[in-house]
C-alpha cells in the first residue's frame, strides 16, 4: 500500500486506507438527483432516461479509497471510515471491508432471506 501524499509505502500500523463518509453521502445524493433530473416523467416506459453525452460528464464520480500515513492524512478530522494498513493483507479482504463500509453508509443490502431464516430459527428455539 502506497501513501497518496508522500508516495512511500505504508507499513503495518503506520497508516490506513480510508474513505470519506460525507463524500459517500454526497455522491449518493448527487446520483439520485442526476437520475431524477434525467428521468422522463411522461414516458410510457417507467424510469426511461433521456440525456445527452454531455450530460454524462455531470454524472457524479464515485468516491475513492485513499491511503495515507497517519502524519500525511490531509483530512484527519473527516467523517471517515478507515482501515489500519496492517489489517489489509489481501484484495479479497479489502473487498469484504468495502462491502462492510457501504453497508454502514446505509446502502440497501439483500439481507431479507438471512433475517427471515434467523427469525424462523429463533421461533423454533423458543417453542
Dist CA 75 CA 72 (whole Å):
9
Q: Does the footprint of Zn ion cover residue 5 (CB under 5 A)?
A: yes
Nearer to Zn ion, 72 or 94 (CB): 72
Give the C-alpha distances (Å, rounded to integers) separating 86 from 16, 47, 79, 98.
Answer: 8, 44, 21, 16
Nearer to Zn ion, 11 or 109 (CB): 11
Binding pattern for the stretch 63-82 against Zn ion, x by CB under 5 A and - elsewhere: ------x--x----------
Q: Does the footprint of Zn ion cover residue 3 (CB under 5 A)?
A: yes
Nearer to Zn ion, 24 or 69 (CB): 69
Dist CA 15 CA 3 (whole Å):
8
Residue 72 buriedness (CB in 10 A; 0-12 / 13-18 / 19+): middle
Kindly state the number of chain residues that form the binding site for Zn ion, as judged by CB under 5 A: 5
Nearer to Zn ion, 15 or 81 (CB): 15
Q: Does the footprint of Zn ion cover residue 1 (CB under 5 A)?
A: no
Alpha helices in 39-73 (DSSP H): 53-56
Question: Both ends of the chain: CA-CA distance in Å?
Answer: 52
Binding pattern for the stretch 16-55 against Zn ion, x by CB under 5 A and - elsewhere: ----------------------------------------
**Binding region for Zn ion (CB under 5 A):** 3, 5-6, 69, 72
Amino acid at each position: 500500500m502506497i501513501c497518496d501524499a508522500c508516495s512511500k509505502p505504508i507499513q503495518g500500523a503506520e497508516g490506513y486506507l480510508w474513505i470519506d463518509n460525507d463524500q459517500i453521502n454526497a455522491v449518493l445524493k448527487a446520483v439520485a438527483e442526476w437520475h431524477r433530473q434525467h428521468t422522463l416523467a411522461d414516458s410510457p416506459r417507467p424510469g426511461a432516461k433521456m440525456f445527452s453525452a454531455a450530460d454524462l460528464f455531470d454524472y457524479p464520480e464515485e468516491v475513492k479509497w485513499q491511503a495515507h500515513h497517519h502524519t500525511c492524512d490531509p483530512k484527519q478530522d473527516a467523517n471517515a471510515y478507515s482501515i489500519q494498513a496492517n489489517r489489509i493483507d489481501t484484495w479479497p479482504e479489502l473487498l469484504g471491508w468495502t462491502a462492510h463500509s457501504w453497508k454502514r453508509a446505509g446502502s440497501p443490502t439483500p439481507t431479507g432471506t438471512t433475517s427471515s431464516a434467523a427469525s424462523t430459527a429463533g421461533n423454533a428455539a423458543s417453542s
